[in-house]
């Protein structure tokens, strides 16, 4: 055995389980988007329930189609933000891998961010397909990557609230 300490032997928790979770999110996200791209044309929809449809939508903007009508530069800006976020989150995971809730939130956000960056790079837009509606009003369509990012943000807030409570 060499004298080089491993993450586990150095007292630091391993980052690999969190990266595996992020990878599984990317795989699930890209698989579901491939199914939509292979079976739906832009604008097609399938009614599933009285409040939920499967649709094929393209989002060239960010959340809630922010900047979707811009001239195209937003593709590269949001791709750059996604890549920068992935690098920063990976660094945070290395620093805090032993903090379970925090690391889970970071892994969820990382997987979602990478899933949407892949779309922007491959298609120039993010593929959205989950369409919830009520009383004729539709929530903006979203995808599994967006769901992971949202769940990760909720977990991050919960982690901070629990951390503040422990300090009291």
pLDDT tens, per residue, the chain with 168 residues: 444 444 444 446 799 999 999 999 999 999 999 999 999 999 999 999 999 999 999 987 666 555 555 555 666 777 888 889 899 999 989 988 889 999 999 999 999 999 999 998 899 899 999 999 999 899 999 999 999 999 999 999 999 999 888 887
- Active site positions, annotated: 128, 146
DSSP state of 14: P
- Dihedral (Cα; 93, 99, 102, 103), 10-degree rounding: 40
Q: Quick check: 106 and 30 in contact, CB under 8 A?
A: no
The pTM of the full predicted model, rounded to 2 decimals, is 0.84
> Measuring CA to CA, which residue among 168, 158, 144 is closest to residue 36?
144
Phi/psi at 110 (5° precision):
-60, -50
Dist. CA 79–CA 67, nearest whole Å: 13
């Amino acid at each position: 055995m060499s004298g080089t300490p491993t993450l586990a032997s150095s007292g630091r928790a391993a980052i690999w389980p969190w990266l595996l979770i992020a990878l599984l999110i990317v795989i699930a996200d890209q698989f579901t988007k491939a199914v939509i791209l292979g079976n739906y044309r832009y604008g097609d929809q399938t009614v599933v329930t009285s409040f939920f449809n499967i649709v094929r939508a393209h989002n060239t903007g960010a959340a809630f189609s922010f900047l979707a009508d811009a001239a195209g530069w937003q593709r590269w800006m949001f791709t750059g933000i996604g890549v920068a976020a992935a690098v920063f989150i990976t660094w945070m995971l290395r620093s805090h891998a032993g903090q379970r809730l925090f690391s889970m939130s970071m892994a969820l956000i990382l997987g979602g961010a990478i899933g949407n960056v892949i779309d922007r790079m491959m298609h120039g837009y993010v593929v959205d397909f989950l369409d919830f509606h009520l009383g004729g009003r539709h929530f903006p369509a979203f995808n599994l990557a967006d769901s992971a990012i949202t769940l990760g943000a909720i977990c991050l807030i919960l982690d901070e609230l629990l951390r503040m409570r422990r300090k009291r």
